[in-house]
């Protein structure tokens, strides 16, 4: 009999599985896709270098995955960039950030990070916070971008306390790094040697005090003395998987308090760059796209590739269009920012994480009043069925690859404790 079944071969799943295998247990990983990685998805067919269609970056020097990056022998490059490499669109097309911030209307927003770092007596929505601070005009646009440039939701759904607890302030101000060889190489390093059954789409999970039984859509059954679920919140929320007995109310409440927001990426390779050589990114308060970035910024002489990154309502709107319509809409928007130069696109890939049945969204954030929801979802209160994944991350920066890695270590410890009891 298998000792442990791990559901999902993303970062949390392979991390937990490897640790349990090293502890001498028989471990089977069940994965619906035909690859490792989950929402880590590296492309190699757009150009002759890896491009991230899913998770992009290592966020900051404290990220828990750094020892693994070094052990795998992977190299990185800094992705963080200064104001002189950044453009911002406040409704009039892309402008260099220092010029945009020099406008007197923008000055009122300069203290927003200090205000967010000040303890709040009650949890409120991002919209309430912005209105209470009295931001108007350009200052309001800048304040809204603090919340929606990363989190894939609207101002009413984003809770201030969750924003703070999830470490988004650290994420938005830290130095980021890209793995030159591709983020999937980190997953492959950690997952090397573990047993994975691909194409296993879970339909039911029965949990007991002494074991777990898991069945797929065809009725095939896998049982074990313990299990770890790393299923994304979007999959848990849409009812595609049945739990027997039903999950505790604390977990169901935690899932209701999370939003698995839509994220869409259009990765575009052009015949030649039409943007300034020093450009790293364009942040957009208006238009169909949340953020553009120069994929090979800092890499020197690499392919002219831009990623159009779209979140929240903007991603949902683009998801209603055909792929060709999305490309046309994005190229039209790029003309607003860069009116000169050829935009001859020679390759592209559209990735809609909300349309992925095994993700149902990009990543989670917390609604107002949801403080502690991630810990409640992570709690080992379902017999020998334990919980991991980015949605259960409570250390440093939640809902990231590094956060998922930490949850894999935590859940594997819980399994070891349960089986040794």
Residue 369 lies in a domain: yes
27: which 2 tokens? Answer: 């471990």
Task: Indicate the pTM of the whole model.
Answer: 0.96
Residue 408 lies in a domain: yes
Partners of residue 387 on adjacent β-strands: 229
Q: Which residues contact 97 (CB under 8 A, 6 or more apart)?
A: 83, 84, 86, 87, 88
Helix/strand/coil (H/E/C) assignment for every residue in 51-117? EECCCCCEECCCCCCHHHHHHCCCCEEECCCCHHHEEEECCCCEEEHHHHHCCHHHHHHHHHHHHHH
Distance from the first to the final alpha carbon of the chain = 18
Residue 103 lies in a domain: yes
Residue 63 lies in a domain: no
> Does 28 share its domain with 149?
no
Element (H, E) at 267: strand 263-270
Q: Which residues contact 284 (CB under 8 A, 6 or more apart)?
A: 88, 89, 94, 290, 291, 292
Backbone angles phi and psi of 19, in degrees to 5: -65, -40
Residue ending a domain, choose from 110, 139, 173: 173
Estimate to the nearest angstrom the gap between the alpha carbon of 227 and the chain centroid: 24
According to DSSP, the β-strands at 281-284 and 86-89 are: parallel
Residue 353 lies in a domain: no
> Does 101 share its domain with 144?
yes
- Give me the CATH number covering residue 29: 3.50.50.60
DSSP 8-state class, residue 125: B
> Does 32 share its domain with 102?
no
Half-sphere exposure of 260 (CA within 13 A, CB side): 25
Residue 158 lies in a domain: yes
> Does 396 share its domain with 253?
yes
Are the C-beta atoms of residues 153 and 258 closer than 8 Å to each other? Answer: no
Residue 146 is part of which domain span? 83-173
Residue ending a domain, choose from 173, 193, 228: 173
Element (H, E) at 366: strand 363-366
DSSP class per residue in 207-236: E-SS-EEEEETT--EEEEEEEEE---HHHH
> Does 12 share its domain with 161?
no
Q: What pLDDT shows up at residue 117?
A: 87
Q: What pLDDT shows up at residue 396?
A: 83
Mean pLDDT by 10 residues, the chain (421 residues): 95 98 98 98 95 96 96 93 91 93 94 89 95 96 95 97 94 92 98 98 97 96 98 96 98 98 97 93 96 91 90 97 97 94 91 97 97 97 98 92 98 97 58
Residue ending a domain, choose from 173, 196, 217: 173
- CA 273 – CA 418 distance, rounded (Å): 56
> Does 166 share its domain with 195?
no
DSSP class per residue in 321-361: S-HHHHHHHHHHHHHHH--SS---EEEEEEEEGGG-TTTSS
What is the count of structural domains for the chain?
Answer: 2
């Amino acid at each position: 009999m298998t000792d442990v079944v791990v559901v999902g071969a993303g970062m949390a799943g392979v991390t937990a599985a490897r640790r349990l295998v090293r502890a001498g247990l028989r471990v089977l990983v069940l994965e619906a896709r035909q690859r490792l990685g989950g929402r880590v998805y590296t492309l190699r067919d757009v150009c002759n270098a890896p491009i991230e269609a899913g998770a992009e970056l290592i966020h900051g020097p404290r990220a828990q995955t750094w020892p693994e990056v070094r052990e795998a022998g992977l190299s990185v490059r800094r992705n963080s960039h200064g104001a002189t490499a950044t453009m911002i669109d406040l409704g009039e097309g892309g402008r260099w950030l220092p010029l945009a911030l020099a406008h007197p209307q923008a000055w009122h927003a300069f203290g927003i990070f200090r205000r967010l770092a000040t303890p709040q007596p009650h949890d409120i929505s991002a919209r309430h916070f912005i209105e209470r601070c009295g931001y108007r005009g350009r200052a309001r646009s800048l304040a809204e971008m603090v919340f929606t440039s990363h989190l894939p939701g609207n101002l009413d759904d984003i809770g201030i306390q969750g924003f703070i607890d999830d470490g988004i302030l650290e994420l938005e101000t830290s130095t980021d790094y890209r793995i030159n060889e591709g983020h999937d190489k980190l997953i492959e390093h950690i997952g090397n040697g573990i047993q994975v059954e691909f194409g296993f789409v879970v339909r039911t999970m029965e949990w007991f005090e002494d074991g777990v039984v898991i069945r797929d859509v065809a009725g095939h059954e896998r049982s074990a003395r313990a299990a770890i679920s790393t299923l994304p919140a979007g999959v848990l929320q849409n009812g595609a998987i049945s739990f027997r007995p039903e999950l505790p109310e604390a977990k169901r409440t935690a899932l209701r308090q999370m939003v698995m927001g839509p994220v869409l990426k259009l990765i575009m390779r052009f015949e030649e760059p039409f943007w300034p050589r020093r450009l790293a990114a364009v942040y957009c308060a208006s238009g169909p796209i949340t953020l553009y970035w120069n994929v090979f910024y800092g890499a020197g002489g690499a392919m002219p590739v831009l990623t159009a990154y779209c979140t929240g309502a903007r991603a949902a709107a683009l998801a209603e269009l055909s792929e060709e319509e999305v490309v046309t809409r994005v190229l039209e928007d790029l003309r607003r920012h860069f009116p000169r130069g050829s935009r001859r696109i020679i390759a592209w890939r559209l990735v809609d994480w909300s349309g992925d049945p095994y993700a149902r969204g990009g990543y989670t954030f917390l609604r107002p009043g949801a403080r502690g929801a991630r810990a409640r979802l992570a709690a080992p209160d379902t017999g020998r069925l334990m919980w991991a994944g980015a949605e259960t991350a409570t250390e440093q920066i939640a809902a990231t690859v590094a956060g998922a890695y930490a949850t894999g270590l935590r859940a594997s410890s819980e399994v070891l404790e349960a089986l040794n009891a």
